[in-house]
Amino acid sequence: MQDIPRKRWIRPCTLVYLIMVALTLVTWGIGMTAQGGLELSLLVLLFALIKGQMVGDWFMGLHFVQGIWRWPIIIWLFVPGALITIAFILSYGG
Amino acid sequence: MQKNKYPPGDLAIWIFILAELLVFAAFFGAYAFTRLKNVELFNYYQMTLDRNAALLNTLALITSSYFVVRAVADIREDDSKGCKRWLWAAIAMGAFFIVIKGGEYAHHFSAGVTLSSNTFYMFYLSLTFFHFMHVILGMVILAAVALKVGRGGYSADEHTGVETGASYWHMVDLVWLILFPLIYVMR
């Protein structure tokens, strides 16, 4: 396998790491202060899916892979994400 | 830049990772749809969980994943010492996760919580413990890789083992990123 140049990989990964820390802190803040609710639940789920995609693309390095190998993580995030979204909407009487 | 044809690491680990992810996806779906029939119970007992501990554990796993990225970057440049240091730092963060999660379990068990206490705790304990075991396995894999790195077993030319261990560890992180909001925050 051809290795990715260090700068093209580490710099985005450092940025991704900082974004994930920020999204985690916001998620925790919502969990600590809010009373819940459909919108906030779906918002923190969206944060989690974004973080998951960033792990797959950058930490796992799938951003640098061609073809079908990028898709399993995307599909994996989409399917449970969709199931959870549907279940939460239904739980709010949607 | 031309993209690679295959993901980093051994292809076999990717088959394993996808199988593991499938199991966790089924668990997540089961949790969400079971909650649908027990919303009040799930919301009530979710409040008994320690969200501060969950925050620390999320930060620990994210940080350890980043450390593993740095380890892979170092070995690709033939820097075994740097790679080894980052791997042990990642393992230390994994150990931090184990200690915090163990504390959570101790708290719940001392309060008499078991798998059969109620449906929420059944999911909480089984899902998080299943993930907990993956963290331990990931630490063992990373430790084995770190020891081999220390013996000069990997180089810039041959470091598939480091990438394989790294991919598994990122999967462990990935699963927790969904677990954290689903179990501790969403209500």
- What is the model's pLDDT at position B4? 86
**What ipTM was assigned to the predicted interfaces of this complex?**
0.94
Query: With a CB-CB cutoff of 8 Å, which residues 64-83 of chain A face chain B?
Result: 64-67, 69, 72-73, 76-77, 79-80, 83
Task: List all residues 6 or more positions away from A42 whose beta carbon is below 8 Å from its beta carbon.
Answer: A85, A88
CB atoms under 10 Å from CB of B97, counted, come to 27
Please state the rounded mean pLDDT for residues B132-160.
97
Sign for the CA dihedral angle at B62, B159, B139, B166 comes to positive
Structure tokens at A78: 């989409």
Closest by Cβ to A91, choosing from B28, B39, B51: B39
- Going from the C-alpha of A37 to that of each of A94, B39, B50, B123, B185, the distances in angstroms are 13, 12, 19, 21, 10
Number of helical (H) and strand (E) elements in chain A, helices listed first: 3, 0
d(CA A32, CA A9): 34
- Strands (E) in A1-94, as ranges, are none
Nearest by Cα to A27 from B141, B62, B116 = B62
Question: B16 in contact with A at a CB cutoff of 8 Å?
Answer: no
- For residue B23, what pLDDT band results from cuts at 50, 70 and 90? very high
Instruction: Say which CATH topology domain B28-185 has.
Output: Four Helix Bundle (Hemerythrin (Met), subunit A) (1.20.120)
Q: Which residues of A touch B62 (CB under 8 A)?
A: 17, 20-21, 24, 51
Spans in chain A with pLDDT lower than 70? 1-3, 34, 94
B25 contacts A76? CB cut-off 8 A: yes
Q: What would the mean pLDDT of B102-110 be, rounded to a whole number?
A: 98
In which band, very low, low, confident or very high, does the pLDDT at B3 lie, cut at 50, 70 and 90?
confident
Residue A35 lies in a domain: yes
**Percent of chain B whose pLDDT exceeds 70:** 99
Examine residue A28 and state whether it is found in any structural domain, yes or no: yes
**Residue in chain B lying closest to A85 (CA):** B32
pLDDT at A33: 85
The total of structural domains in chain A comes to: 1
> Which DSSP category does A59 fall into?
I
In percent, how much of chain B has pLDDT > 90?
A: 97
pLDDT at B6 over 90: no
For residue A50, being part of any structural domain is answered with yes
pLDDT band at B38 (very low <50, low <70, confident <90, very high): very high
Residue A1 within a domain = no
Is position A27 within any domain? yes
Question: What average pLDDT does range B34-48 have in this prediction?
Answer: 96
Written as six digits, the tokens of B72 are 């892979």
Surface of A (16-45) touching B: CB under 8 A: 17, 20-21, 24-25, 27-28, 30-32, 36, 41, 44-45
Instruction: Flag whether pLDDT at B15 surpasses 70.
Output: yes
Cα end-to-end span (Å), chain A: 48
Q: Mean of the pLDDT values across residues B176-186?
A: 98
| Residue of B5, B55, B185 with shortest CB distance to A67 | B5
Please tell me the predicted confidence (pLDDT) of residue B58. Answer: 98
Residue B182 in this model has a pLDDT that exceeds 80? yes
- Taking contacts as CB-CB distances below 8 angstroms, the residues of chain A near B170 are 55-56, 59-60
Q: How many residues does chain B have?
A: 187
What pLDDT does B40 receive?
96
- Nearest-Å Rg of the Cα atoms of chain B is 18
pLDDT higher than threshold 80 for residue B105:
yes
Q: Is B43 on the interface with A (CB under 8 A)?
A: yes
Per-residue pLDDT, averaged over B68-79, amounts to 96
The mean pLDDT value for B153-177 works out to 97
Range of the domain at A74: 6-91
Q: What angle do CA B123, B104, B179 make, to 5 degrees?
A: 45
